[in-house]
Structure 1
Amino acid sequence: MPNTYFQFKQFRINQDLCAMKVCTDSCVFGAYVEVRQAKRLLDIGTGTGLLALMVAQRSEAVVEAVEINPEAQAQARQNFLESPWADRLLLHPMPLQEFAEPCTQQYDVILSNPPFFLASLKSNDAAKNTAKHTGDLLFEDILTFAQKHLTESGKLYLLLPPAEANHFAELAKTHALYLNETLEVYTRTGGKCIRHVQTYTFGPTEQAVTKTLDIREEDGKTYTEDFTALLRDYYLIF
């Protein structure tokens, strides 16, 4: 029987109740976003709490998280309480739309690995549908919230597949948020680009920066030096 948890160097992700488990691209996202100077962060659609815990590890910030799914809420709450940073992790068990109504807080960083399949067919698993398909949590909701609650110099980070990332970038302009940087994540050297880590800021930039990260070498087995360096503080195998 496989483990019901994923063990990192400083915390554990219990994930038996969640449809979406710990995956490599989410770990890349959590390790990549710049949070060291942030005082308050928000993770939208936290799931197991993975991203919130990863950014809490390398910052002194108060980290808030929003989650709509009851099973994921229970899992994130457990993972937060069992972590070394329980005193500055705060879970809001509700949809973003409900959380947004009374919210007056400003955030230095807002990050989200949102439901993303805009046109694909849904599965028979309702929990996975909520986690992977735009429905209850829409791109517009994220952008509307960020436009209102991101600090003037704050950053919005998104993890999306390439097609959906391009779509989000166009929508963002209508909310005065502009793509500043993209990290293209590839399965291996010479392989397929599976995700974009996008950084948005207020005000247009002359030229958005594009970087790349290969998870594995061309052999498809060996982790690259860049990936190893990025995840060294998290993965037990490094």
Structure 2
Amino acid sequence: MANSYFQFKQFRVEQDKCAMKVCTDSCLFGAVVEAGNANRILDIGTGTGLLSLMVAQRTTATIDAVEINPEAATQASENFALSPWTNRLHLHPVSLQEFAKENQQNYDVILSNPPFFLASLKSGNAAKDSAKHTGDLFFEDILAFAQKHLTQQGKLYILLPPAEALHFAELATDHRLYLTETIEVYTYINGQCIRHIQTYSFVKSASSTISKLHIREANKTTYTSEFSELLKDYYLHL
């Protein structure tokens, strides 16, 4: 049974109300996102609020977080309130579509770990299905919002499984957003690629960069030095 909370060095994420718990690839995503110069950041589908809290720790940005699930939104709001950055974190308990109708802000960074299993069977757990499947939040909605509200020099960051990442990249070009970088995340050295961390911008380059990042060494137990370096400011035991 998962813990009811995940303790980081500077904040705690309570997660008993959320179907999707804190996981390693989400933590890695939160650490990889480059947001140091951002004035305003949007976290789409914030869940527990993990990604917002991670970027809040290392920036001075104002962060808006959108979450459609009422229980997850309540949990994220509570996690924000207990953090050292509560005055910069703003939870919006609505769908992205509803948020888009009222939003007047532009964002230097938009990030999302969205629902992603396009073709897989649903589990029967409504909360988990909403969090993991493109039922309530579609890729097209994220891209349409970014096309309208991402600053000209801004970046869109997405965490997806490999197949869904390729599909997202195909859709993005229709919204004038171009893939500039892909980090392939592997469970361990010589292991399986489980996620792509993608970076998009309005600037079209001749080619996008691709790199690999391994969570654990080949022994499947020890964190790699690269992973440890990224998470050392967050994980208690690094």
TM-score range, shorter chain: over 0.9
Whichever residue aligns with residue 90 of structure 2, its letter is L
C-alpha distance in 1 between matches for 2:153 and 2:204: 13
Structure 1: 4+ residue segments shifted above 2 A: none
**Equivalence for 1:198:** 198
State the 1:155 CA deviation.
0.1
Q: Does residue 147 of the first structure (1) align with residue 147 of the second (2)?
A: yes
**Equivalence for 2:82:** 82
Whichever residue aligns with residue 64 of structure 2, its letter is E
Whichever residue aligns with residue 117 of structure 2, its letter is F
Q: Does residue 54 of the first structure (1) align with residue 54 of the second (2)?
A: yes
**Equivalence for 1:8:** 8
C-alpha distance in 2 between matches for 1:55 and 1:218: 30
CA shift digits 1:182-228 (9 cap, x unpaired)? 01000000000000000000032111001111000001001100000
**What SS class does the counterpart of residue 37 from structure 2 fall into?**
coil
CA shift digits 1:31-59 (9 cap, x unpaired)? 00000000000000000000000000000
**Equivalence for 1:208:** 208
State the 1:103 CA deviation.
1.1
Whichever residue aligns with residue 209 of structure 1, its letter is T
CA shift digits 1:149-192 (9 cap, x unpaired)? 00000000000000000000000000000000001000000000
Whichever residue aligns with residue 217 of structure 1, its letter is E
**Equivalence for 1:114:** 114
C-alpha distance in 2 between matches for 1:83 and 1:190: 38
**Equivalence for 2:160:** 160
Q: Does residue 235 of the first structure (1) align with residue 235 of the second (2)?
A: yes
1:62-77 correspondence to structure 2 within 5 Å:
62-77=62-77
CA shift digits 1:67-98 (9 cap, x unpaired)? 00011011000000000000000000000000
Equivalent residue pairs, number: 238
C-alpha distance in 2 between matches for 1:27 and 1:67: 18
C-alpha distance in 2 between matches for 1:151 and 1:107: 6
CA shift digits 1:81-124 (9 cap, x unpaired)? 00000000000000000000121100000000000000000011
**Equivalence for 2:18:** 18
C-alpha distance in 1 between matches for 2:134 and 2:96: 13
Q: Does residue 136 of the first structure (1) align with residue 114 of the second (2)?
A: no
**Equivalence for 1:105:** 105
C-alpha distance in 2 between matches for 1:221 and 1:32: 21
**Equivalence for 1:28:** 28
Query: Structure 1 residues 2, 118: closer, same or farther in 2, change over 3 A?
Result: closer
Tell me the C-alpha RMSD between the 2 structures.
0.7
C-alpha distance in 2 between matches for 1:2 and 1:199: 31
Whichever residue aligns with residue 172 of structure 1, its letter is A
Whichever residue aligns with residue 157 of structure 1, its letter is Y
Whichever residue aligns with residue 48 of structure 2, its letter is T
**Equivalence for 2:186:** 186
Task: Tell me the percent identity.
Answer: 68
**What SS class does the counterpart of residue 102 from structure 2 fall into?**
coil
| TM-score, structure 1 normalization | 0.99
**What SS class does the counterpart of residue 175 from structure 2 fall into?**
coil
State the 1:2 CA deviation.
5.4
Specify every segment of 5 or more residues in structure 2 that has no aligned partner in the other structure, as ranges: none
**What SS class does the counterpart of residue 13 from structure 2 fall into?**
strand
C-alpha distance in 1 between matches for 2:66 and 2:222: 35
State the 1:3 CA deviation.
2.9
Specify every segment of 5 or more residues in structure 1 that has no aligned partner in the other structure, as ranges: none
C-alpha distance in 1 between matches for 2:44 and 2:222: 32
Whichever residue aligns with residue 229 of structure 1, its letter is E
| TM-score, structure 2 normalization | 0.99
